Structures are given as structure tokens and as C-alpha cells.
Amino acid sequence: MKKLKFLTQGRLAVAIVVMVLAIDQLIKIAVKTNMFLYERIHIADWFYIYFTENNGMAFGMEIFAKLFLTLFRIVAVILISGYLYRIVHQSHRYQTGYIVCLSFILAGAIGNIIDCVFYGEVFSASLPDQVAQWVPVGEGYSSWLHGKVVDMFYFPIIDTYWPDWMPMVGGDRFIFFSPIFNFADAAISCGIVALLLFYSSSLSGEGREKNPPQEKGGRS
């Protein structure tokens, strides 16, 4: 029984990672090779495909911050992978949902790392007047580990203006949910939210299944 559960949870984890990576990369490549940078496709008033690229830099440091963040993401993925591998091998002690959440987080992290590591080498630059194309390795817009993450989902659910009578912000534009993100980001967010909602009480116990209380013999 334990071996069967290990095989089931292991295959499920691999299937989730492969599925998320495939969907994420297919969407990113389709957007990058068919849209101009900052081009929008109107799906609904609250949903756009809006092509942007995220440099992933911190504090305005162009080179070292980008390299540091990419390497940090790679180390984080290695640690998460090792942890997931360990708990799958102890699957009889962990809930399947806990493993599913970690698999989504891992897959999302890998998806964005692929952009950072490879895209700069294999794509020409995306510009407002130029659609990116596949190029021979080494002829891309940047070098290894310095690629830009492709984002495209934009949900301005509320797009309005603050009333003029409001102090400080009166007349300013207000957009509820303005971040632009990708499928990998969504996988990470869903995995984290599900962990907090359904496993917050067991995170300290690493999502372990609780054994039913044993009845103890007592005096009648």
C-alpha cells in the first residue's frame, strides 16, 4: 500500500510539473513571437492579453541584481525539488493535497527560471515595433541568466477614478488588480494560497497526515 501511494503521488507531482511547464512555455513563446512589446489584445473590459517583460531587477542594479535573483531562484528550485522528492518518498506520512500544492509552486518557479536562463540567448529583442524571433544560440538580445520574464495576463477588474472630493487622491485613476503576470506566476500563487487555506494548521508539521487517535484501555 505504501509503495502504491508513493508511485501515485510521485507520478502526480511529475505530471503537474510537466503540465504547468508545457502550458506556461507555450503561452510565453506564442506571445513573444506574435506580439509587439506592450501590445494589448482586448478579451473583455476586465481582461487583456498585454505583453510585457519583467527584468526582475532590484534597486535599479542592472547586472548584479539580475544575476543574483536568477541564481537565487535556481537555488530555491533545487531546494524545493529536494524537499518534494523527500516527502514523496515518505508519501505515507503526507497528504496528497500538500504535495500537489508544492508541485504547482515548483513548476511555476521553474517556468520563470527558463525565461531568465535561456530566453536572452535564443530570442531577438521584443520591441514596440519589432516582434521577437528565434535566433541561433548566442545571437539573442542578452546572455545566459540575463533573460527577461514574459508576462501577459492583465485583469483590470475595476478601472475608474477616485471622486474629486476625496483628499489626496481625488481625480486620480484607480485600477483594482493592476499586476501583469504569467501562467507560472498563477501556479505559484495558487499553490501558496491553497497551502495557506487548507494546510496552514499543518505547515509546521510539513503537511503530515494525522493518525486517528488510538483508543486506550481503561478502567470500567
Q: Which candidate in 24, 115, 129, 151 is catalytic?
A: 151
* Other Cβ atoms within 10 Å of 67 Cβ, number: 17
Computed on alpha carbons and rounded to an integer, the radius of gyration of the chain in Å comes to 22
185 is catalytic: yes
| Beta partners for residue 135, in sequence order | none
What stretches of 88-215 adopt beta strand conformation (E)?
Answer: 149-154, 158-161, 173-176, 180-181
SS3 content of the chain, % helix, strand, coil (to 5): 50, 15, 35
Q: Which of 24, 45, 129, 185 is catalytic?
A: 185
Annotation marks residue 164 as catalytic:
no
Burial label, 171 (beta-carbon count in 10 A; 0-12, 13-18, 19+): exposed
> Torsion angle, CA of 197/202/203/206, rounded to 10 degrees?
-130
Give catalytic residues, as residue numbers. Answer: 151, 185
